[in-house]
Amino acid sequence: MTPSSLLVRGLTLGLIACASAPAAAALPEPVRAMIDAAIATGDEAKVRTVVEIAKQTNPDDAAAIDAMLNRFETRLAATKAAEAAAKEEAIRTAGLLENWSGKGEFGAFRATGNASDTGITTGLTAERQGIDWRHKLTARVDYQRSNGVTTREQYLARYEPNVNISDRFYIYALAQYERDEFQGFSGRYAVSGGLGFQALKKDDIQLSVKVGPAYRVTQFVDGRNDSRIAGLIGLDFDWAITDRLKLTQNTNAVAETGGSAIAIIDSQNTTLDLVTGLNAKINSSLSARFSYAIEYNSNPPPGAVQTDTLSRVTLIYDF
């Protein structure tokens, strides 16, 4: 046999040997099935936990496992981007009466101060959240009659739009109407505008403050009118104490505290409206709320006291 034929025969045998050699070990089917099952849930945290366990128990297959994770992350990022784009487009193209959410509230109250009694309370809060703008409407009525005589009749209506100018700062406007003859005024109107700051902006706790000039007109029950330039200081606080609070065997609840305070200050009369509450969500739409409100007037009309308090127990329906 010639040297050239020996070389050809050697190369042929080498190629055959390479072709018949076993391939690198594939990812074990049980491991692949476990990762696929986690991916099917769409839960990113669960997928990462399963992948970490799989890599610890199969270190030689780390590259194959990482490849599966990378494909999942790519699909997840694309899905989130598409959902965010669709949500933004829906907000931008929504009509004036669309994208509103709110709460309807009904319950009982206990009052002390200019009137000491119990009665019924009802309220409505509606909010429209846009890309940069937010509109908030608030209305509340407290009413009570005893032996045919009205002993409490209080009305509040408030509209507050604001626009974001950065991630933390926003510009607000406020228009507010109040009526409470037991505090000595048949109508009190206030408008304000200024700067707000989101001091805390987390999933479980939020705090915002706002400050600006205000103009207030008060119509007293004795017929007098008073108009004054004032200043407004506002605070809103929300704290999710826990994600899930079990009230009964079959009921899960979210408990959260919320507080708000608005002070309007002028040389004649400073008013403070402070409300603190505790909400317990009964189901996805219904929650119970206990709140305590303090209403303070530094210079009330003759015959009225400076401080009123109001304790409310209500049911709230989210829509």
Instruction: Dump pLDDT digits (tens) for 82-127.
Output: 887 887 777 777 776 778 889 999 998 777 776 667 789 999 999 9
In a domain, 106, yes or no: yes
- For 112, half-sphere exposure in the C-beta direction (CA atoms, 13 angstrom radius) is 5
In a domain, 15, yes or no: no
For the residues 258-281, what does the mean pLDDT come to? 83
Residue 135 sits in the same domain as residue 265: yes
Cβ atoms 292, 274 nearer than 8 A:
no
What CA dihedral angle connects 221, 142, 238 and 265, to 10 degrees?
Answer: 0
For the residues 268-287, what does the mean pLDDT come to? 85
- Domain harbouring 283, CATH code: 2.40.160.40
What would the two tokens of residue 312 be?
């409310």
Domain, as residue range, for 204 = 100-318
Q: What number of other Cβ atoms are within 10 A of residue 37's Cβ?
A: 12
Burial environment of residue 223 by CB neighbours within 10 A (0 to 12, 13 to 18, 19 or more): exposed
Q: Which pLDDT belongs to residue 189?
A: 94
- Domain termination site, one of 93, 111, 137: 93
Residue 74 sits in the same domain as residue 158: no
In a domain, 14, yes or no: no
Residue 199 sits in the same domain as residue 125: yes
Helix extents (H) in 201-317: none
Residue 170 sits in the same domain as residue 206: yes
Beta-carbon contacts of 285 under 8 Å, excluding residues fewer than 6 positions away, are 317, 318, 319
For residue 197, is pLDDT > 90?
yes
Residue 188 CA, distance from chain mean position: 30
- Domain termination site, one of 66, 93, 120: 93
Residue 127 sits in the same domain as residue 168: yes
Q: Which pLDDT belongs to residue 82?
A: 85
In a domain, 29, yes or no: yes
Q: What is the pLDDT of residues 126-160, one digit of tens each?
A: 999 888 889 999 999 988 877 677 877 899 999 99
Domains in the chain: how many in total? 2
Query: Model's pTM, two decimal places?
Result: 0.68
Residue 142 sits in the same domain as residue 48: no
- Domain termination site, one of 34, 58, 93: 93
Residue 53 sits in the same domain as residue 80: yes
For residue 277, is pLDDT > 70?
yes
Q: Which pLDDT belongs to residue 243?
A: 62
Residue 167 sits in the same domain as residue 212: yes
Q: Give the DSSP letter of residue 99.
A: S
For the residues 237-245, what does the mean pLDDT come to? 72
What CA dihedral angle connects 66, 72, 74 and 79, to 10 degrees?
Answer: -170
In a domain, 189, yes or no: yes
